[in-house]
Amino acid sequence: MPDVPSTPTTVRMTYRDAARAGIREALQRDARVFLMGEDVGRYGGAYAVSKGLLAEFGPDRIRDTPLSESTFVGAGIGAALGGMRPIVEVMTVNFSLLALDQIVNNAATIRHMSGGQFSVPLVIRMVTGAGRQLAAQHAHSLEGWYAHIPGLRIVAPATLEDVRGMLWTALDDPDPVLIFEHQALYNMEGDLAAGAGPVDIDRAAVRRRGDDVTLVTYGGSLFKSLQAAELAMAEGVSAEVIDLRTLRPLDMETVVASVRRTHRLVVVDEGWRSGSLSAEITTRIVEQAFYDLDAPVVRVCSEEVPIPYPKHLEDAAVPQPGSILAALKQVTAAEGGR
């Protein structure tokens, strides 16, 4: 009897492929879903995420827009109010500032301002972060700004499973969800379950278990943090790595439980230190678990400069495995005070 080929349980793909698969599945699953944004159609997306989708689904569902973020984000809000499930792609987080009024004053507030009569089931995808020499107008990490706004859910997928499955869950949310995809992850390869589906967007994930220090991060800094944790283990320091995944609302329960066990905390955030997400996490730990700490919280953030263009300066400006490792060694070298 001839061998019957088995169905592969995992598929090798890039982060970019996984993001595209999530969009394709959403379009196939629900006729109300459509994608729109600058260059998403004929060009295939500035980061090639939507490449091939125009030929597959046609111009009614893959819509190229004018270079006017305020206009097409506003159109997405209107479509969501009208019963559609739009996915709006903003090329980079820097360009999303041109649509701040639509995102912050409209999408985030309509449920509240209408007394709960209207919801805005809108998903906005945008690229964030540095690492590809795109300089100061294309490479900042501003997701912490949006995490300040009530009425928005902010997610930052770091893994293939999350970038594919978070979109599914986000489209089921009755309120606006902003998805921040880190530009340095698009070429990252991995194995994804062939039948991967929706994933949770409420809880952080412990990506590595450890006993000596809790290392909290998200997005493009996750794999740098995991690398630093490996280096630290070689020096006798066991770091637990937590991927926040969702930046608003923060899953502090997972973080606090870890800190109460390890008694030390390092926060890695590609945003600037002043007024950052790392500052918020630190403050909440001080409020909720101060007496569990054996050492001051240490933060690893981007230098407070516009992201430089030269590669060596860009690398120096943002968190790297070496600077994260130094923070782990610093916090674990502190003497316990409890």
**Secondary structure, 3-state, the chain:** CCCCCCCCCEEEEEHHHHHHHHHHHHHHHCCCEEEEECCCCCCCCCCCCCCCHHHHHCCCCEEECCCCHHHHHHHHHHHHHCCCEEEEEECCHHHHHHHHHHHHHHHCCHHHHCCCCCCCCCEEEEEECCCCCCCCCCCCCCHHHHCCCCCCEEECCCCHHHHHHHHHHHHCCCCCEEEEEEHHHCCCEEEEECCCCCCCCCCCEEEECCCCEEEEECHHHHHHHHHHHHHHHHCCCCEEEEECCEEECCCHHHHHHHHHHHCCEEEEEEEECCCCHHHHHHHHHHHHHHHHCCCCCEEEEECCCCCCCCHHHHHHHCCCHHHHHHHHHHHHHCCCCC
**pLDDT for position 135:** 86
Q: Is 148 a catalytic residue?
A: no
The pLDDT assigned to 335 comes to 62
DSSP-assigned beta bridge partners for residue 215: 241, 266
Say if strands 239-243 and 205-208 run parallel, antiparallel, or are unpaired.
Answer: antiparallel
**Whole-number pLDDT of residue 194:** 82
Tokens 């964030």 locate to: 128
- Binning pLDDT at 50, 70 and 90, where does residue 334 land? confident
Write down the CATH number for the domain with range 11-193. 3.40.50.970
Per-residue pLDDT for 4 more than 60? no
Q: What angle do the packed helices 252-262 and 277-289 form, to 10 degrees?
A: 60
Q: What percent of the chain has pLDDT over 90?
A: 91
Q: Is 220 exposed, middle or buried (0-12, 13-18, 19+ CB in 10 A)?
A: buried
Q: Which residues pair with 63 in a beta bridge?
A: 36
Across the range 273-280, mean pLDDT stands at 96
Structure confidence by residue, pLDDT tens digits, 217-237: 999 999 999 999 999 999 999
Q: What is the rounded average pLDDT for all residues in the chain?
A: 94
pLDDT in tens, 149-201: 999 999 999 999 999 999 999 999 999 999 999 999 999 999 999 878 899 99
More confident residue, 58 or 132: 58
> Which one from 138, 140, 182, 263 is the annotated catalytic residue?
138
Residue 280 has pLDDT above 80, yes or no: yes
Whether the per-residue pLDDT at 7 is higher than 70: the answer is no
Share of the chain above pLDDT 70, in %: 96
Do residues 46 and 126 lie in contact, with contact meaning Cβ atoms separated by under 8 Å? no
166: Cα separation from own chain's centroid:
10
CATH number listed for the domain at residues 205-333: 3.40.50.920
pLDDT in tens, 102-157: 999 999 999 999 999 999 999 999 999 988 888 888 889 999 999 999 999 999 99
More confident residue, 6 or 156: 156
| Residues 110 and 118: beta-carbon distance below 8 Å | yes
Of 69, 143, 270, 280, the active-site residue reads: 69
* 140 is annotated as an active-site residue: no
Q: In the prediction, which pLDDT does 5 show?
A: 54
First to last CA, the chain: 69
Q: What is the pLDDT of residues 306-322, one digit of tens each?
A: 999 999 999 999 999 99
Determine contact, residues 9/193, Cβ cutoff 8 Å. yes
Pairwise pLDDT comparison (49 vs 5), residue with the higher score: 49
pTM metric for this prediction: 0.94
- Please state, in angstroms and rounded to a whole number, the distance separating the CA atoms of residues 145 and 318: 18
Domain coordinates of the chain in residue numbers? 11-193, 205-333
Between 338 and 300, name the one with better pLDDT.
300
Q: Which of 277, 270, 327 is nearest to 302 (CA)?
A: 270
Tell me if domain 11-193 and domain 205-333 are identical in fold: yes
What confidence tier does 336 reach under pLDDT thresholds 50, 70, 90? Answer: low
